[in-house]
Amino acid sequence: MIRRALPALAIALFLALTAAAQETWQLDPPHSSAQFSVRHLSVSTVRGAFTKVSGTVLYDPATVAKTSIQVTIDASSVDTRVDMRDNDLRSPNYLDVKKYPTITFQSKRVEAAGAGKLKVTGDLTIHGVTKEVTLDVDGPSAPIKDPWGNQRMGASATTKINRMDYGVAGAPGLVGDDISITLDIEMTKQVPK
């Protein structure tokens, strides 16, 4: 009886230790944003941001391959500092935020890419279309303790997509197809009290 119980106990202990190694971090929305840039008429670059970003990172500092990242962006929070353009971006011409209110990213694979760098591959969903993308990540930074006793760390990720791949096809020829994306995030981990 004891011999049969030992393997099950060993497996349970292994799973508990694996879970303990993963730390749960929450994105801090006021200190996180998703920026984008796109060419306009091939003569200038228009920059904007999504100001409402949330998500969860399950981070394993010892084995980054066990890390997973989930990010949700409120598509209606698009802000290019021009109301008329922002309303057009929210419309069916572009993001159609009434039909597709969120943009999401769910990681599938996390790999070390040199000192202080990661490559994160996952599914990006925009306008109801999901495509695999790879993010080049600087970070995460070393955790620090904030004045409230919580842990904080940050990271910055970049990628480039073609908007036509996601069915965001408004103003072809006027607005460039390639979109550069930068995601700057600050994460918090509450310290047990």
Taking only the tens place, the pLDDT of each residue in 100-124 is 999 999 999 999 999 999 999 999 9
The answer to whether residue 8 sits within a structural domain is: no
The answer to whether residue 13 sits within a structural domain is: no
Whole-number average pLDDT of the chain? 90
Taking only the tens place, the pLDDT of each residue in 86-99 is 999 999 999 999 99
* DSSP element (H, E) containing 154: strand 151-162
For residue 193, the model assigns a pLDDT of 57
Residue 11 burial (CB count, 10 A): 10
Say if residue 159's pLDDT is above 90: yes
Least confident of 19-23, 56-60, 80-84, 123-127: 19-23
- For the chain, how many structural domains are there in total? 1
Classified as helix, coil or strand, 6 is helix
The answer to whether residue 1 sits within a structural domain is: no
Q: How far apart are CA 142 and CA 155, in angstroms?
A: 10
Taking only the tens place, the pLDDT of each residue in 49-78 is 999 999 999 999 889 999 999 999 999 999
Classified as helix, coil or strand, 149 is coil
The answer to whether residue 98 sits within a structural domain is: yes
The answer to whether residue 142 sits within a structural domain is: yes
The answer to whether residue 33 sits within a structural domain is: yes
Domain containing residue 78: CATH number: 2.40.128.110
Cα–Cα nearest to 182, from 53, 90, 19, 68: 53
The answer to whether residue 184 sits within a structural domain is: yes
Domain of residue 112 covers 22-189
Q: How far apart are CA 130 and CA 145, in angstroms?
A: 37
The answer to whether residue 106 sits within a structural domain is: yes
What six digits make up the tokens of 59? 């981070």
